[in-house]
């Protein structure tokens, strides 16, 4: 379905971004990966499912650095002829009460989770308009719609991502570029595993019990959302059927924000 299209997925060496990159490649899209950690393993995982001559590349831009983000967009354009699909997914978390929140962590979360979405969108949008197709998918969170305690920076950034999504969706409403946000609830990735570990250690409980408690507090389905489920939604948002979905924030959260 996405043969000949090119996708740039930020933060795709792990978790949700890796799942989305795999699904886009499986649909035939060329994919540029980004992120820290084992980039080669991620490239291999995406290449293994790539079809239709889809190619896989990697750029190590630090998403807290605007110049590197712009260079990555240009590298994707040079490598694949454009960025047709931009998935703004890179993100980090820090959990602490606001008066103990390190200012440096606040700055990093706002830069990586929010400002990077602006910088990548700003760099990629002109090319999308010129080529007559574009899909911008911002991986926000249920925390873009509702709050939790001790996550002030993350909640502020994710609310910002949803506001930004709506604004750019309006600016592009009459163009072939759509802009939407995906809002996962709990997904068991390294980002959430750290929170499971912290809960297990603080309460002296098992990993399974920590996961059960984490879900029971917020996610009525008592099931983690999976990267594969989010990736299937991303593929749908890239399809012609989704051409008039604009400025939406779609929650995939086991009922979290229905409460
Ligand atoms: P993850 O830790 O598995 O992956 C995060 C990715 O971002 C990794 O590839 C990492 O290398 C990359 N990254 C981090 N800082 C970076 C930087 N400065 N520059 C470039 N890359 C960087 O986490 P995940 O759970 O897959 O999270 C992906 C996105 O989904 C994040 O935006 C997160 O806020 C969001 N999200 C996650 C959950 C969840 O429950 N896991 C829920 C809602 C939203």
* Pair (218, 245) in one structural domain: no
170 and 211 Cβ atoms separated by less than 8 Å: no
Q: Is residue 259 part of a domain?
A: no
Q: Which residues are within 8 A (CB) of 23 and not within 5 positions of it... i.e. 6 or more apart?
A: 228, 231, 232, 234, 235
- Same domain for 196 and 86: no
Residues 11 and 116 in one domain: yes
What pLDDT is attached to residue 52? Answer: 86
Tokens read off for 201: 């250690």
Q: Could you tell me the distance, in angstroms and rounded to a whole number, from the CA of residue 39 to the centre of ligand 1?
A: 14
Question: What is d(CA 222, CA 214) in angstroms, rounded to the nearest whole number?
Answer: 9
pLDDT for the residue numbered 62:
98
Pocket test for ligand 1, best of 33, 46, 58, 90 (most atoms within 8 A of CB): 90
- Say if residue 203 is in the same domain as residue 136: no
Shared-domain flag, residues 174 and 191: no
* Cβ neighbours, 10 Å, residue 175: 15
Digit-by-digit pLDDT tens for the chain (259 residues) are: 999 999 999 999 999 999 999 999 999 999 999 999 999 999 999 999 999 899 999 999 999 999 999 999 999 999 999 999 999 999 999 999 999 999 999 999 999 999 999 999 999 999 999 999 999 999 999 999 999 999 999 999 999 999 999 999 999 999 999 999 999 999 999 989 999 999 999 999 999 999 999 999 999 999 999 999 999 999 999 999 999 999 999 999 999 999 9
Structure tokens belonging to residue 153 = 């920076």
Q: CA 85, 87, 88: angle at the middle one, nearest 5?
A: 140
Residues 6+ away with beta carbon under 8 Å from 44: none
CATH code of 47's domain: 3.40.50.720
- Whether residues 102 and 217 fall in one domain: no
The response to whether residue 184 sits with its C-beta less than 6 Å from ligand 1 reads yes
247 alpha-carbon distance from chain centroid: 16
Task: Round to whole Å and give the CA distance between 182 and 88.
Answer: 10
Same domain, 170 and 113: yes
Which is catalytic among the residues 154, 164, 186, 224? 154
Q: Tell me whether residue 31 is in a domain.
A: yes
Would you state the pLDDT for residue 161? 99
Residue 91 in contact with ligand 1 by CB distance below 6 A: yes
Beginning with the edge strand found earlier in the chain, give each strand of the sheet holding 6-9 in spatial order: 56-59, 30-34, 6-9, 85-88, 134-139, 177-184, 249-252
Q: Is the CB of 256 under 6 A from ligand 1?
A: no
Say if residue 37 is in the same domain as residue 54.
Answer: yes
58 assigned to active site: no
Whether 99 and 219 map to the same domain: the answer is no
Q: Which residues contact 252 (CB under 8 A, 6 or more apart)?
A: 182, 183, 184, 185, 225, 229, 230, 233
Ligand 1 centroid–CA 174 distance in Å is 31
Give residue 13's pLDDT: 97
Per-position b or e across 178-193, b if 16+ CB within 10 A of its CB:
bbbbbbbbbbbbeebe
Same domain for 165 and 210: no
State whether the beta carbon of 187 lies less than 6 angstroms from ligand 1.
yes
Q: In this structure, is residue 257 part of a structural domain?
A: no
* 163 & 211 share domain: no
Tell me if 258 is assigned to some domain: no
- Same-domain check for residues 193 and 106: no
Which residue reads 């008066």 in tokens? 99
The protein residue whose alpha carbon is closest to atom 32 in ligand 1 is: 91
pTM, full prediction = 0.98
Q: Which domain holds residue 205?
A: 187-224
Dist CA 34 CA 57 (whole Å): 9
């Amino acid at each position: 379905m996405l043969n000949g299209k090119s996708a740039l997925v930020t933060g795709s060496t792990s978790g949700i971004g890796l799942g989305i990159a795999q699904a886009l490649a499986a649909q035939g899209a060329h994919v540029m990966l980004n992120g820290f950690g084992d980039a080669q393993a991620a490239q291999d995982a995406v290449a293994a499912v790539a079809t239709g001559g889809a190619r896989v590349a990697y750029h190590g831009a630090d998403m807290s650095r605007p110049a590197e983000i712009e260079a990555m967009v240009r590298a994707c354009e040079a490598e694949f002829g454009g960025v047709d699909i931009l998935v703004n997914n890179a993100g980090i978390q820090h959990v602490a009460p606001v008066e103990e929140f390190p200012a440096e962590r606040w700055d990093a979360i706002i830069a990586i989770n929010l400002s990077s979405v602006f910088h990548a969108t700003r760099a990629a949008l002109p090319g999308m308009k010129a080529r007559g197709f574009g899909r911008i998918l911002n991986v926000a969170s249920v925390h873009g719609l509702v709050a939790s305690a001790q996550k002030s920076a993350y909640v502020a950034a994710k609310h910002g991502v949803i506001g930004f999504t709506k604004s750019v969706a309006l600016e592009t409403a009459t163009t072939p570029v759509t802009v939407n946000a995906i809002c996962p609830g709990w997904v068991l990735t390294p980002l959430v595993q750290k929170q499971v570990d912290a809960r297990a250690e603080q309460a002296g409980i098992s990993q399974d019990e920590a996961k059960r408690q984490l879900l029971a507090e917020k996610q009525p389905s008592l099931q983690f959302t999976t990267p594969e489920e989010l990736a299937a939604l991303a593929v749908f948002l890239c399809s012609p059927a989704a051409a008039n979905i604009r400025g939406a924030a779609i929650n995939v959260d086991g009922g979290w924000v229905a409460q």
